[in-house]
Amino acid sequence: MSLEWFDRVSEELHDHLESICDKYDEVGHMAIDRAAKHPRIEFFVETEEDESEHFCALFFDPYNEEFYIKTMDMDFEHLSKVVLQDIEDIIDEVHESFHQYLEGSDEWEDEEWEDEGLYVEADETVEEIDVEWTTPEVTAYAYEDEVEVTYQFGVVEETGDGVLRRINRVKTADEELLEDETNFIFSKEEANTIIAMIASHADSLSELSEEHLR
């Protein structure tokens, strides 16, 4: 197990990105987490609200001495590991992810996605959109017979975008079943950014409890 390749890339990567992209030189940042089981380099921009928005997470496997990213395979609906063979591949991947992030930020600046009725706000249902649900409801969390959270993945038939449906079911003391549904629509290009952000922050999340859902 060696981190030599990781350290060499970490030292050179930022300078390479700045030299090939003026926009990254202005707003792009990177942070190194060397202490993780699989060390990673996270790339982000800082917003006007002094928050960080991540657009790419680059992981390093110290046993195989290789860099990789995690992507969503929209055809088979599972996470995939893509190995980046050399620093040129790494630079290209980060550079492409950065511009995909910028294009997405500019395109959906109003936070209310409306394109001939195909995009909806995150808390609206998708009843008016033709969705092919490609998975059954998968239980993500359950507490006895009182609380259940399920997820379901589908594809918007007209656009090919992904839909993630979250259903929260809670049984009250009066035996009344309350159901809350949330839908999130995203493009194939956005999927990789979402995965990178979740992977970068998953360790900081708290365990889900019944109180969180009431």
Of the two residues 37 and 74, the one the predictor is more confident about is 37
Give pLDDT tens digits for 109-153: 433 333 333 333 334 444 556 888 899 888 888 887 788 899 999
In one letter, which amino acid is 156?
Answer: V
Q: For residue 105, what pLDDT band results from cuts at 50, 70 and 90?
A: low
Give pLDDT tens digits for 10-48: 888 888 888 878 888 888 888 898 887 888 898 888 877
The token duo for 160 is 């090919």
6, 32 contact by CB (below 8 A): no
Q: How far apart are the first and last CA of the chain?
A: 46
What share of the chain has pLDDT > 90, as a percent?
4
**What's the angle, vertex CA 198, arms to CA 150 and CA 153, rounded to 5?**
35
The token duo for 108 is 């959906």
Give pLDDT tens digits for 145-180: 788 899 999 998 888 888 888 888 888 777 778 888
Q: What is the pTM of this model?
A: 0.50
pLDDT of residue 67: 92
Of the two residues 47 and 54, the one the predictor is more confident about is 54
